[in-house]
A and B are shown apart, each in its own frame.
Chain A
């Protein structure tokens, strides 16, 4: 177990370095944008009638760094604030800390993305096994075709189609927001939250279903031809044991993809949340871009980075648990 602890510590240190790299990158990216946002904001405050001193103080408070100081010192100040968990203040939400805004949007992205991913993973992997084993029959062919077709349709088309059918035409599911009721642990609220989440979750699931199916199919086919499966057939094992051998070995490479797609789903959330008017991180990011709210943007980017890095660390650790070849 000490080996596992050392591995974990190593991964965490590596993750921290990556977060630092991304934070640095976003910091300099914001600085390099045409019309330094700090300066633009400073000019705005001056135009609003503030004195230069007041305006400078406001900008300092909002961006977390002093825009007229030399670059290295600004960078140091930004990192210092970041280390304390201070992401600065939003400009469009007048003075609300960015960490607070992101914190309230986060669950509305993480929960649908995660449930969509899990649903599509389970269904896609199961369908992939069937498609591989029955690949020469008509049903296997149809399954594979369904995977290719679904994987080929763009996200926004899927989202709009679902919306059209289930909301506009059949009036089965609601649209917009996360719930029709005040927040609280009661049945109508929770029910409404689930109703509102169904369409985004389905879109996430459809988005990645085809990928899982095709990846699992090819993985299973390659394991099917392995000598140890043939040898097991010679010894006369039961079909259930055979399926277990195949599944266990075929699913291994898919775990890496699972972690990577967690990050990709965050990217997809921009389209999906926008289409369903769902107030998650994606629509927050889109709004921030629209209002040139740079602190909110860099905060959101940073959070997405951290989430992806964390997912990868988790996947790496899971890998050592499920694949004996990775263990040392």
Chain B
């Protein structure tokens, strides 16, 4: 189980003329990933999704908050001790074309980590060939056909399957998929997504799914929690279907409005909307981060910073900061908006609407 409590990360830029400048990438992110569970993060480019993935794998450090793996607080450990925990968290990268070493065959790519892993757990390093074949079969590839090949001889989808097989060589407990299908042919996407879902159910590998694509998040994160990140802050959280079907934060609603519909079969939700202004990351505000772009912003929004509160049926939860959202059970639908309102923004099936 992985728990993140108020993870923050701020980048310092040192411009030659503009002076030092702090860019907050994450402003306190909490989540809990149960064993074999799934957590999805959606948000637009630059919202901090990728930084979060890097922090979870140890490629990036966090400067505030705490990461707890199986009850052990990682910030208290030495770098060496921490590496052991991070080894159990592997990453599936976005670009399958740069994620594989172009000068090594699939056999060599899988062989090295398999032998290393066998030595680590006291297994038989000589058996790596069988293990490699087993892993390739697991990810849906034909071992005999793929093993002697170089990455450039494989298709994008096949490469991504090899990347997943390679991540599995070290027996990870968590996979971080950072935009794992955004660069893959649409026709291959579903295969990769169902493979990731399969790994969850068959091997009990939990999944952190980072994406900007609502539909893939819904497919993979089925039954898990969905976090909507805006400028490094979670603005809405809940069970994946709850958030997608009944979004209450205007930012989530804008994101979902941007999902293309199948014209002829679906029609746009009646409340579809878009931000009124483009993103400007330099604006610092004491109020809601989304206020400058929000179509429903009030004066209060510019002054008061909303915190995550549970969704009350009649808006009773609004402003009741005394409620600690951490105490709520998993899957509670929470949001950080002063004026939450349910709006219908996702596409509606035409037959269903007229019926």
Which residues of A does B touch, CB under 8 Å? 226-228, 230-237, 241, 245, 248-249, 252, 322-325
With both chains docked as a complex, state the minimum distance between the C-beta of B166 and any C-beta of chain A, in angstroms.
7
Q: Does B152 contact A (CB under 8 A)?
A: yes
Chain A residues within 8 Å of B103, by CB: 248-249, 252, 322-324
B262 at the interface (CB under 8 A from A): no
* CB contact under 8 A between A325 and B102, given known A235-B169, A235-B170: yes
Find B101's partner among A233, A236, A245, A322 (CB 8 Å cutoff).
A245
Taking a contact as CB atoms under 8 Å apart, the answer to whether B93 and A231 are in contact is: yes
Contacts of B86 in A (CB 8 A): 234
Given contacts A234-B59, A235-B170, A325-B152, 19 further A-B pairs with CB under 8 A are A227-B94, A228-B98, A228-B101, A231-B90, A231-B91, A231-B93, A231-B167, A232-B101, A234-B86, A234-B91, A235-B87, A235-B113, A235-B169, A236-B83, A237-B112, A248-B103, A252-B103, A323-B103, A324-B103
Query: A236: which B residues are within 8 A, CB to CB?
Result: 83, 87, 116, 170
Q: Which of B319-353 contact A (CB under 8 A)?
A: none
Neighbouring A residues of B303 by C-beta, 8 Å: none
Main secondary structure of the interface of B (DSSP, over half): loop
Of B83, B90, B99, B150, which contacts A324 at CB under 8 A?
B150
Task: Assess whether B207 is interfacial by the CB under 8 Å rule.
Answer: no
Contact of B91 among A230, A252, A324 (CB under 8 A): A230
CA distance A236 to B59 in the complex (A): 11
7 contacting pairs across A/B (C-beta < 8 A): A226-B99, A231-B90, A231-B99, A231-B163, A235-B90, A235-B113, A249-B102
> A235 CA to B93 CA in the complex, in Å?
14
Cβ proximity bits B37-62 to A, threshold 8 Å, 1 near / 0 not: 00000000000000000000111000
Q: How far, in angstroms, from A249 to B103 measured CA to CA in the complex?
A: 7
B91 surroundings in chain A (CB, below 8 A): 230-231, 234
- The answer to whether B100 has its CB under 8 Å from any CB of chain A is yes
Residues in B neighbouring A234, C-beta threshold 8 A = 57-59, 86-87, 89-91
Which residue in chain A gives the minimum CB-CB distance to B103?
A248
A263 to B131, CA, bound (A): 50
Cα A229 to Cα B90 in complex, Å, equals: 13
Whether A324 contacts B59 by the Cβ 8 Å rule is no
Q: Which residues of B contact A233 (CB under 8 A)?
A: 59
A252 and B163 CA atoms in complex are apart in Å by 23
Q: Determine the distance from Cα of A252 to Cα of B103 in the docked complex, in whole angstroms.
A: 10
- For B100, the chain A residues whose CB sits under 8 A away are 228
- Chain B residues lying within 8 Å of A322, measured Cβ to Cβ, are 103
Q: Would you call B95 an interface residue if the criterion is a C-beta within 8 Å of the partner chain's C-beta atoms?
A: yes
User: Contacts A231-B163, A233-B59, A235-B87: A325 and B150 contacting too (C-beta < 8 A)?
Assistant: yes
Which single residue of chain A is at the shortest CB-CB distance from B99? A227
**Which of under 10, 10 to 19, 20 to 34, or 35 or more describes the interface residues of B?**
20 to 34
CA distance A325 to B101 in the complex (A): 11
Query: What CA separation (Å) do A232 and B93 show in the bound complex?
Result: 12
Please measure, in the bound complex, the distance between the C-alpha atom of A230 and the C-alpha atom of B167, giving whole angstroms.
Answer: 12
- Chain B residue, CB-CB nearest to A246: B101
Residues of B within 8 A of A231 (CB): 90-91, 93, 99, 163, 166-167
Chain A, Cβ-Cβ closest to B87: A236
- Whole-angstrom distance between the alpha carbons of A252 and B89 in the complex? 32
- In whole angstroms, how far apart are the Cα atoms of A325 and B95 in the complex? 18
Per-position 1/0 for B124-167, Cβ under 8 A of A: 00000000000000000000000000101000000000010011
Complex: chain B residue closest to A236, CB-CB: B87
User: Scoring B residues 110 to 124 as 1 if CB is less than 8 Å from chain A, else 0, what string do you get?
Assistant: 001100100000000
Q: How far is the CB of B69 from chain A (nearest CB, A)?
A: 15
Task: State in angstroms the CA–CA spacing of A232 and B166 once bound together.
Answer: 10
Report the bound CA distance from A230 to B166 in whole Å.
13
Known contacts: A236-B83, A325-B150. The answer to whether A227 contacts B102 by CB under 8 A is no
Measured CB to CB, the nearest residue on chain B to A326 is B152
A230 to chain B, nearest CB (A): 6
The 10 A-B residue pairs with the shortest CB-CB distance, nearest first, are A227-B99, A227-B93, A324-B150, A228-B101, A227-B98, A325-B152, A226-B98, A235-B113, A248-B103, A235-B170
**Which residues in B have their C-beta under 8 angstroms from that of A232?**
101
Please, which residues of chain A bring their CB within 8 A of the CB of B58? Answer: 234
